Amino acid sequence: MLLVSEPILGAEEKAALVAVIDSGWVTMGDRVQEFEQAFARLHEAEDSVAVSSCTSALHLILHGLGIGPGDEVLVPSLTFVATANCVRYVGAQPVFVDIESAEVPLISLDEAEAKCTARTKAVIIVHFGGYLANRDAWQSFARRKGLLLIEDAAHAPGLPAAGTFGEAAAFSFYGNKNMTTAEGGAIIARSRSLREAIRRARSHGMTSGTRQRLDSRSPDYDVTMLGFNYRMDELRAAVGLAQLKRLPEWNDVRRRLSLHYRQLIAALCPSVMVPFADPWPSAHHLMPVLLPPGVSRQAVIDGLRKRGIQTTIHYPPVHHLTYYRENCPDSRLPRTEEFARRELTLPLHPRMTPETVELVVNSLAATLGAELSMEVTA
């Protein structure tokens, strides 16, 4: 089965894990700090904070910025549910915003402006599929409205511009991302004081860590805030350091494969629409396409699966999930809903080759042809 996403893990990662095990120190030590500095350098940032997941990163950002009960946060519904969940974690209310268009499925600036109220405190922009939102436009909007600007950059590691939009950005290293630590995430924040507050909050609000207490030979510590257990361990940091070295190369492979996809789809599947006109600043995390209106997506999924090709969808709209239907019942996002009905995510990862892309597109063309022929016959 050709998978939608597949991590690249090999001898270097194995050696890194063995070195951590042999060291006898497996959590919050030198490798975590080294990984934080290396990730920051890649993004041309002063520093970063490594955490247990992108979800914890978003939660820590909102918590560190003081967002809480009575506040509203603008979020897209075309995202993974964690983007909205983290708003609920701090007691605030997510306000779902439609996408700009099927061609640009990013949170709409005009719609965000229309949904601002006196309670709106922040907006979370999601770089869907790795495609960056318009930084200048969103910075101008945030300044004009007095809002905190936050990036969900789960899909965009390795792009220096990611993490430069507003107060902070959250990144993901989950197993299907452009680089992985199995589970894990990182935060880039503009303010040193915010970074330090986040760094302390990720570890129960303690004033020192175990390694710091060992080095200082003092067992004393204090707790100065309500914190969480959102630490990254040495094993994940070691894998992350190995992965970071190859991330720019892998992102470039993704870029070239994405371009090949676009060219072949235009030639062989002209009824299929590919969002984001090329070139567009992107880490090319996903290969999303929109099937023609009226085509059964499930039939296409089944047809490709019979040919050994996995596909998936990004995403079921968050406002349609049961929890949010019950808690945000009045959300109506027609562009998001139409996009989500027709979207299909094709395989894209650095293990693929141009020949693999050709196999996928030829299979898609054959499956679509069979589906459309059935519709005509019916």
DSSP tag of 128: G
Residues 166-201: b if buried by 16+ CB within 10 A, e if exposed: bbbbbbbbbeebbbbbebbbbbbbeeeebbebbbbb
Task: Judge if the upstream peptide bond of residue 279 is cis by omega within 30 degrees of 0.
Answer: yes
DSSP calls for 22-55: HHT--BSSHHHHHHHHHHHHHTT-S--EEES-HH
14, 115, 145, 177: the catalytic one is 177
Pairing relationship of beta strands 93-97 and 185-189 according to DSSP bridges: unpaired
| 177 a catalytic residue | yes
Token pair 């970063």 is found at 48
Looking at residue 206, the DSSP 8-state letter turns out to be: B
Q: Give the Cα-Cα-Cα angle 299, 351, 41 (nearest 5 degrees).
A: 120
Q: C-alpha distances in angstroms, 218 versus 26, 210, 296?
A: 20, 10, 65
CA distances from 343 to 27, 129, 133, 171, 308 (A): 40, 12, 19, 24, 20
Residues annotated as catalytic (active site), given as ranges? 177
